[in-house]
Amino acid sequence: MSDPRLVVSLGDVNGIGPEILLRFHKARPDLPLLCVGDRTALLYWSREIGIPFDFAVADLNVRYHPEPGKVSSIAGEAAAQAVEVAYREAKQRGVPLVTLPLAKEAVSLARPGFTGHTELLARLDGKRSDEVAMVLGSSRLMVLPLTRHIPLAAVPAALSTDLVVRQVALVHEWFRRWKRRSPKIWLAGLNPHAGEGGTIGAEEVSVLVPAVTLLRRKGIAIEGPLAADTLFAQGLAAGVDLFVGCYHDQVLAPFKMFAFHEGINVTVGLSVVRTSPDHGTAFDIAGKGIAAERSLAAAAAWALEMGGAAL
């Protein structure tokens, strides 16, 4: 068995993660993988969909029999443990990490307060959650939500000029190292019409405009805050590389409309390269044999291309 070029965490075994991994392995049998997860669950899925595998498995020895579509604390805890072990394996081996989907609800049953892969990986890397960034990318566009998995009502208080500057500067430097050029960046306003000069909310004037001024002083090509309702239509025509939004759905909704089947997630700021398919566990189709591996294939391709681009 060749040394792995990718380490993959198995994700929630009641979802589609194992199935898309097996389908990806069937399409790319030449790519050496190390999968971290419960071997018993992986063997179950291999039999269910009729795809054998010969990649290496770092077995967590959970011995859990998958229950497709079920939210389970056992499966949730195993998925979180797989991320932790896979992170250490990837860092030790100096290869990229690809994480398969887990269910926040399932992990939270075992680990109350769990908020997601990004925050878990930041902690494993010895960083605060605001010291890493969650970037969603595809062949067509790339987006950065400044706040992630928090209630919409909490977004205004979570936004600060310092947060905007640090997140955008971090992603700008990552992009520049990877692509060997500086990105063209547009920032969405928080409020309708980007606040209309303060008449529809104060955050643009008090937080976003000062952040843009500071970023431009750093030599970063950023425009905004701009009205979010026209941001993507105009930005795609203008060749924008990175769209920055104030909250999760502001940029994730249009991103998934354009890149639902090929979108990937990158955690910027880690000491390892980490990507993931930009979809969830899809409990509703788990076990039906219809899950597609396109997003996983894109995540693997990005991880291999980025190589040593992690900051």
6, 31 contact by CB (below 8 A): yes
Count of domains forming the chain: 2
pLDDT tens digits, one per residue of 153-201:
999 999 999 999 999 999 999 999 998 899 999 999 999 999 898 999 9
Share of the chain above pLDDT 90, in %: 90
Instruction: Answer yes or no: do 277 and 256 share one domain.
Output: no
Question: Residue 204 sits in a domain of what CATH number?
Answer: 3.40.718.10
301, 262 contact by CB (below 8 A): no
Instruction: Answer yes or no: do 292 and 221 share one domain.
Output: no
Range of the domain at 173: 140-261
pTM: 0.92
Instruction: Answer yes or no: do 199 and 240 share one domain.
Output: yes
Q: What is the CA radius of gyration of the chain?
A: 20
| Gap between the Cα atoms of 13 and 37, Å rounded | 9
Tokens of 239: 């060749």
**Residue 71 per-residue DSSP state:** -
Residue 131 domain-assigned (yes or no): no
Across residues 236-244, what is the average pLDDT? 97
Q: At what angle do helices 228-237 and 248-259 cross, to 10 degrees?
A: 40
pLDDT tens digits, one per residue of 57-98:
999 999 999 999 999 999 999 999 999 999 999 999 999 999
102, 80 contact by CB (below 8 A): yes
Residue 251, Cβ density class (10 Å: 0-12 exposed, 13-18 middle, ≥19 buried): buried
DSSP secondary structure string, 226-273? E-HHHHHHHHHHTT-SEEEESSHHHHHHHHHHHHTTT-EEEEET-SS-
Instruction: Answer yes or no: do 229 and 267 share one domain.
Output: no
Instruction: Answer yes or no: do 225 and 242 share one domain.
Output: yes
Residue 135 domain-assigned (yes or no): no
